[in-house]
């Protein structure tokens, strides 16, 4: 599956639009990530445990996007974007959404 943030793919033309596809996940830090992140927030610096959690969330949302595109019969997704937001009142969970337009591409 070809994915891109652009709206065209060099060497291909879009033969069919399948519509909007998305992948979504909601993640909270593990106890260890929360503990390490809490310590880092006190002393400052890069919080590697949170970076790892965010990367896992983005990858999961992307994988869900690709699966959704395959379900609708697409072989590519154009205009891929990510969004994230906090979920819940304590701010302990992060929602990550990956979305784009599913298309069928053919060589030019």
19-74 pLDDT tens trace:
999 999 987 765 555 555 555 555 656 667 777 878 889 999 999 999 999 999 99
Which residues on neighbouring strands pair with residue 21, listed in sequence order? 100
Q: Which fold has domain 2-28+60-107?
A: Translation Initiation Factor IF3 (3.30.110)
pTM tops 0.75: yes
pLDDT given at position 93: 78
Nearest-5° Cα angle at 32, 30 to 36: 120
DSSP state letters, 51-70: HHHHHHHHHHHHHHHHHHHH
Mean pLDDT of 94-101: 94
Boundaries of every domain in the chain: 2-28+60-107
């Amino acid at each position: 599956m070809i994915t891109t943030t652009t709206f065209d793919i060099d060497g291909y033309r879009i033969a069919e639009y399948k519509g909007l596809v998305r992948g979504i996940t909601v993640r909270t830090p593990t106890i260890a990530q929360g503990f390490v992140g809490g310590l880092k927030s006190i002393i400052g610096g890069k919080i590697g445990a949170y970076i790892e959690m965010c990367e896992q969330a983005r990858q999961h949302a992307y994988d869900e996007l690709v699966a959704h595109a395959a379900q609708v019969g697409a072989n590519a997704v154009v205009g891929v974007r990510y969004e994230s937001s906090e979920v819940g009142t304590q701010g302990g969970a992060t929602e990550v959404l990956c979305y784009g337009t599913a298309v069928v591409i053919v060589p030019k």
